[in-house]
Amino acid sequence: MAGHSKWANIKHRKERADAKKGKVISRAAKEIISAVKMGGTDVRSNSRLRLAVEKAKAANVSNEVIDRNIKKANSEEQADYVEMSYELYGHGGVGLIVDIMTDNKNRISSDIRIATNKKGGSIAGPGSVAYNFDRRGVIHIIKNHAIENELFNAAIEAGALDFKAAEDVFIIYTDPQEFIQVKEAVEKLGFKADHAALEMVPKVLVECDDENFDANMGLIEWLENLDDVDAVYHNMNTQTDEKAS
């Protein structure tokens, strides 16, 4: 059925993205360098750096590479990276937010225009898509690694906004300011996060037919392959048919 095909495509895309080790290391390095330039080299006092290091380790980036990039960030010759985002209209009324970390705004501006020229969609004005999303801390705990009641209580007591049970993971949502606090609280109980990041979470999902779904996936994959793009968020409902089946 279409739903199974869609879900398989999404899982396949994620597996492909996870396999791009070189790009993962590159992004981890940029996040570490940016964090050091903003808050210094002390992981204990620089929560941004602490999160960047944790993400790098989760992606199996070696301690040697992490330490090298922390030292590299202190060099005057090292370019700083600017965080920015683009808002796009996709196909079928879908909105996309593209999180970017770049040292060349002109390059990424050109890359985004090329993406929409090749794969459709259009660049939206600031705020015209973002109002449909909330910036949230998102923490995934594999179900087999946690006791639901204990995890729920720990997350809520630490300040989590919401707690959901998905197919194979528990998902904890937090305010960005409470993200590190909640993550550390649940991990102190031995519930290690399989995924933890600040993300744009859609408020309302948009239904798509197969044609628009495939067109949006083509645009998203193109954007994700750009060197300066860290993440692409959308409000397309990717599971409707899967649930119905």
pLDDT in tens, 165-211: 988 899 999 999 899 889 989 988 888 888 888 899 999 999 999 99
The CATH number of 81-245 is 3.30.70.980
CA distances (Å), 104 to each of 80, 108, 185, 219, in order? Answer: 10, 7, 38, 22
Question: In the prediction, which pLDDT does 21 show?
Answer: 57
Which phi and psi (to 5°) does residue 208 adopt?
-130, 145
Choose among 181, 191, 196, 183: nearest CA to 143.
191
Please state the domain extents for the chain: 2-73, 81-245
Give the chain as a 3 state SS string.
Answer: CHHHHHHHHHHHHHHHHHHCHHHHHHHHHHHHHHHHHHHCCCCCCCHHHHHHHHHHHHCCCCHHHHHHHHHHHCCCCCCCCEEEEEEEECCCCCEEEEEEEECCHHHHHHHHHHHHHHHCCEECCCCCCHHHEEEEEEEEEEHHHCCHHHHHHHHHHHCCCEEEECCCEEEEEECHHHHHHHHHHHHHCCCCCCEEEEEEEECCCECCCHHHHHHHHHHHHHHHCCCCEEEEEECECCCHHHHHC
pLDDT at 232: 92
- What's the pLDDT score for residue 83? 86
CATH architecture of the domain with residue range 2-73: Orthogonal Bundle (1.10)
Question: Residue 128 contacts by C-beta under 8 Å, 6 or more apart in sequence?
Answer: 87
Per-residue pLDDT of the chain (245 residues; tens, 9 = 90+): 334 445 455 555 555 545 455 666 777 888 898 889 888 889 889 988 988 888 788 777 888 989 988 988 888 777 788 889 999 999 999 999 999 989 899 999 999 999 999 999 999 999 999 999 999 999 999 988 888 899 999 999 999 999 999 888 999 999 998 998 899 899 888 888 888 888 999 999 999 999 999 999 999 999 998 989 988 999 999 864 443 33
State the pLDDT at residue 31: 86
